[in-house]
Chain A
């Protein structure tokens, strides 16, 4: 009977209706869920991958080294399942190793097209890359927010530091960032837990660099590892195995931090295995009605409805969701009216640096495994410094005593060799650069409709590359690090600049739905609202108008909290 059908549909619709939907459960999605639920919104968080429970699912995290069959090395079988991240040069950071290989996305099910080389590090499970991230947490400054306007590059950021500063304060306090306050205008101080120590060698090298170079500062890294207790969390235990998931909750992740907060409100529903195929756009109200979800396990399609949608699927996938939405109105997707959706792909320079030997300090050692290092803050093109390229870079590194895997040239095998290796070797120091890549309209991602993933969905085609400014900067990054190391007395310096580096490998994808002041040249406004659908907010790396050179996740957290606050206020006012 028609009436029954209508009744059932209404009931189903009511069951599938929330105040807010959050697409993605990583760093920014977790923050969106926390903020929206705490502000009273009944919220549905959609995660395309498997559930991944705090502590319980960190199956390797408490094993001793000898309990790993391959002692941490990825097997050929693991590599064959994930050939992209197993590329030899991609394995630089040992991010693809035995215990965590399955944390990364299944590459056979989820292919993409490399028009130009692009190593894409995806984690499709609850918490996303918040489990695997590097945890370095730096603020952007007005040098960054003003850079595009001053250089006449791309478009101006629609915000300035003072608008985001209180939100940095807010998220730092909750996430728990340890660091030192250094009074640097280009790297504003935050709301920090006590800093970790530099070790003896790092302290001396820092003092030499700081005294011999103007405006150069080597400081302890600012990291989302707890150096003091904060509510419901345990301090960092200095095991340096964060990426396996921390059984102590010693670093910020969705699971350790934002998810429990959101769940505590009683207003959060989490749905795993939920691939959002599109945002449902209503052309009469010019707003989103909800989202369409493909269940990754059953292949069934569902619709969920809400007053607002937060898009936090990670920079490239958030753009993918928009590109697949409202295509009857805009062939290139929701938010494409500016012609900038999917464009301006950015990342950070990586896979280049230098290392050397520090003589002496044989009577010094350290205790504990510090999941952090030093940071040399940006100096290029600041305070009157001028280079043959725009923008700047920083370095992250560490000094340590060599372990058993060092070569002992004079002792080849046998008892003396063994005994020598049971003691620590000499000190070495090394660092890698993280540099800013400019936004170029022609660096883009797009839908490749000829290639489909496991679920028959179109996949992304990556078409981005370094240009002259980037290549000049890479040379300078290596050159200046050598100069600083030399001045600090480091010996036997060797350098590397891996020619296989391509955008993506820094794992800091940004820019594919940039913010701006003008709907004609940007996808989002200053509140992270999609210009073309004001109840759709996008607050992951896609919003970045420029990349700066700081590790970006902290900025996503702050902007997410700010956007959620705005969204809830607007909802209350009835303007959304």
Chain B
């Protein structure tokens, strides 16, 4: 198994410490590749880009009985992460992915992603997610991450660690004060926001 898999299903352990089970989603961990600190300055996102990313994120995590990704400002969050935390390669993949989604949308619906309606957007991203899963199933170590994987990861990270995500979609307790190792759980109870 590669490192990503090794980390993706178990809490990390450091010197006996279980370090946040959610800490592995690799929005910001490096691929084993060269990066340049200056790279962050080289890419920019416009307000239109942010609005577009917001809609991609909202399609992945829509408003339901709780607010969605747009309300959590996930579009802006994605741009910060891509600029500050991504390697050069992942930045390129992400930027190309932004173009790619629009092209796929035009091909499929003859509309840009922003012009497409919610149903069409969902259809398109569901399809992309499926393709991404297939390509990741055959992934070799060192292969670049598919762009939709990056977007989905950033959406989940951005949403579930946001204030609305952590406190409304999930349960957040800043200072638990105690530990109980075995309490009842009933279907429908929300998961803890932090591990």
A residues apposed to B, CB below 8 Å = 64-66, 69-77, 79-80, 86, 88-89, 91-95, 97-98, 133-136, 196-200, 202-203, 221, 223, 237-240, 242-243, 353, 355, 357, 362-373, 375, 396-398, 400-407, 409, 412-415, 417-419, 421-425, 428-432, 434, 494-496, 498, 507, 551
Docked Cα-Cα span, A555 to B161, in Å, equals 39
Q: Which of the residues A400, A432, A498 comes within 8 Å of B3, measured between beta carbons?
A: A498
Closest to A89 in B: B3
B13 contacts A75, C-beta separation under 8 Å: no
CA distance A364 to B62 in the complex (A): 29
CA distance A407 to B156 in the complex (A): 11
Q: Indicate with 1 or 0, residue by residue over B6-36, a CB within 8 angstroms of chain A CB atoms.
A: 1111111111111111111101111110011
The answer to whether B179 and A76 have CB atoms under 8 Å apart is: no
Q: Are A430 and B10 in contact (CB under 8 A)?
A: yes
Q: Which residues of A contact B85 (CB under 8 A)?
A: 70, 73-76
B170 pairs with A365, CB closer than 8 A: no
| Complex alpha-carbon distance, A434 and B192, angstroms | 29
Contact, CB under 8 Å: B179 / A369: yes
The minimal Cβ–Cβ distance linking B191 to chain A, given in whole angstroms, is 4
Tell me which residues across on chain B come within 8 A of A95, comparing CB atoms.
14, 19
Contact B176 A239 (CB under 8 A): yes
Say whether B178 faces chain A, with CB atoms less than 8 Å apart: yes
Q: Main SS of the interface on chain B?
A: loop
> Are the C-beta atoms of A70 and B156 separated by less than 8 Å?
no
Q: How many angstroms from the CA of A242 to the CA of B17 in the assembled complex?
A: 9
Q: Mark B99-134, 1 if CB is under 8 A from A, else 0.
A: 000000000000000000000001001100110010
Q: Mark B166-195, 1 if CB is under 8 A from A, else 0.
A: 100110111111111111111111111111
Q: What's the Cα separation between A66 and B72 when bound, in Å?
A: 10
Chain A residue contacts of B75, Cβ below 8 A: none
- Whether the Cβ atoms of B130 and A412 lie closer than 8 Å is yes
Partner among B15, B61, B188 whose Cβ is within 8 Å of the Cβ of A418: B61
Contact B15 A551 (CB under 8 A): yes
Residue pair A91, B182 in contact (C-beta under 8 Å): no
A372 contacts B18, C-beta separation under 8 Å: yes
Closest 4 CB pairs of A and B: A134-B15, A73-B28, A93-B14, A197-B181
Known: A65-B166, A364-B184, A422-B190. A405 touches B156 (CB 8 A): yes
One of A91, A239, A417, A551 near B29 (C-beta < 8 A): A91
User: A237-B176, A405-B24, A414-B62 known; A424 and B17 CB under 8 Å?
Assistant: no
Q: Which residues of A contact B172 (CB under 8 A)?
A: 64-65
Query: In the assembly, what is the distance between CA of A65 and CA of B23, in Å?
Result: 11
Would you call B66 an interface residue if the criterion is a C-beta within 8 Å of the partner chain's C-beta atoms? yes
Contact check, B178 vs A367: say whether CB atoms are below 8 A apart. Answer: yes
- CB <8 Å contact, B188 and A397: no
- Identify A238's interface contact among B27, B126, B179, B193, CB under 8 A: B179
Cβ of A430: which chain B residues have Cβ within 8 Å of it? 9-11, 13
Across the interface, which residues of B come within 8 angstroms of A415, CB to CB? Answer: 62, 64
Q: Does B147 contact A (CB under 8 A)?
A: no
Determine how close the nearest CB of chain A comes to the CB of B108; give it in whole angstroms: 16
Closest approach, in angstroms, between the C-beta of B118 and any C-beta of chain A?
A: 10
Is B60 an interface residue, CB under 8 A from the partner? yes
Q: Given contact pairs A94-B20, A134-B16, A409-B133, enumerate 14 new A-B contacts (beta carbons under 8 Å).
A: A71-B27, A73-B81, A76-B36, A77-B40, A93-B12, A93-B17, A134-B14, A135-B15, A197-B181, A368-B176, A370-B18, A422-B66, A423-B188, A551-B15
Q: Does B163 contact A (CB under 8 A)?
A: yes
Q: Tell whether A363 pairs with B28 under 8 Å between CB atoms, given A223-B16, A413-B126.
A: no
Quick one: given A76-B87, A372-B17, are A428 and B10 in contact (CB under 8 Å)? yes
Q: Chain B's nearest CB lies how many Å from the CB of A85?
A: 12
Asked if B144 is an interface residue, CB under 8 A from chain A, the answer is no
Report the tally of A-B residue pairs with Cβ distances under 8 A: 285
A-B contact pairs, 10 of them (CB 8 A): A71-B157, A74-B28, A75-B40, A88-B32, A94-B24, A134-B17, A240-B195, A405-B160, A422-B169, A424-B189
Cα distance A372–B14 in the bound complex, in angstroms: 10
CA distance A70 to B82 in the complex (A): 10
Among B36, B60, B61, B185, contact of A365 (Cβ-Cβ < 8 Å): B185
Say yes or no: A366-B23 contact (C-beta < 8 A), given A136-B15, A396-B16, A422-B191: no
Report yes or no: A402 in contact with B16, Cβ–Cβ below 8 A: no
Interface centre among B5, B60, B84, B186 (most CB of A within 10 A): B84
Q: Quick check: B11 and A400 within 8 Å, CB to CB?
A: yes
The residue in chain A whose Cβ has the minimal distance to the Cβ of B129 is A412
CA distance A496 to B13 in the complex (A): 13
Chain B contacts of A75 at CB under 8 A? Answer: 28, 40, 84-85
* Residue pair A494, B6 in contact (C-beta under 8 Å): yes
In the complex, which residues 60-95 of chain B have their Cβ closer than 8 Å to any Cβ of chain A?
60-62, 64, 66, 68, 77, 80-81, 84-87
A76-B180 in contact (CB<8A): no
> Are B174 and A373 interface neighbours, CB within 8 A?
no
A79 to B179, CA, bound (A): 34
Residues of B with C-beta under 8 A to A424: 185, 189, 191-192
Across-interface contacts of B185 in A (CB, < 8 A): 362-365, 424
Q: Which residues of A contact B195 (CB under 8 A)?
A: 240, 369, 400, 403
Please give the distance in Å from B148's CB to the nearest CB on chain A.
10
| Complex alpha-carbon distance, A88 and B62, angstroms | 33
In the assembly, what is the distance between CA of A197 and CA of B178, in Å? 10
Q: Which residue of A lies closest to B33 (CB)?
A: A88
- The interface residues of chain A lying within 8 Å CB-to-CB of B157 are 71, 405
CB-nearest residue of chain A to B162: A66
On whether A88 and B161 interact (CB within 8 A), knowing A238-B179, A368-B180, the answer reads no
B191 and A92: CB pair below 8 A? no
Distance to closest chain B CB from A60 (angstroms): 13
Contacts of B24 in A (CB 8 A): 94, 405
Convert B24-61 into 0s and 1s, putting 1 for each residue whose CB lies closer than 8 angstroms to a CB of A: 11011111100111011000000000000000000111
CB distance from B52 to the nearest CB of A (A): 16
Chain A residues, CB < 8 A from B186: 363
